[in-house]
Amino acid sequence: MNILNTTEIVEALRQALEARNYNVFVDLFEGDAIFEVPFGLQQNTKRCQGIEAIRAHFNIIAQNPSTKLL
């Protein structure tokens, strides 16, 4: 098992998001992780509990055509 320090984890998360490599991004989470986006309009707030919910959330983002424009 590869143990990363905080700086390495944050850098790996940043690189994965910048590259829109959502599978790599999600794979950095533990199975019982919580991913939360608490800002934005009420209908846009999001809380995903567990790696499968997080993966499903990012699969939706990956399918959104507007994501590719940014």
In a domain, residue 19? The reply is yes
What is the per-residue pLDDT across 28-56, written as a single tens digit (0 to 9) for each?
999 999 999 877 666 667 899 999 999 99
Q: What is the pTM of this model?
A: 0.77
Evaluate whether 13 touches 25 at the Cβ level (below 8 Å): yes
In a domain, residue 21? The reply is yes
In a domain, residue 1? The reply is no
Which CATH number belongs to the domain containing residue 14 in this structure?
Answer: 3.10.450.50
Range of the domain at 12: 6-69
Evaluate whether 20 touches 67 at the Cβ level (below 8 Å): yes
Q: How far is CA 40 from CA 12, 19, 28, 31, 45, in A?
A: 25, 23, 25, 26, 6
pLDDT attached to residue 2: 64
Total number of domains constituting the chain: 1
Q: Is the per-residue pLDDT at 1 higher than 60?
A: no
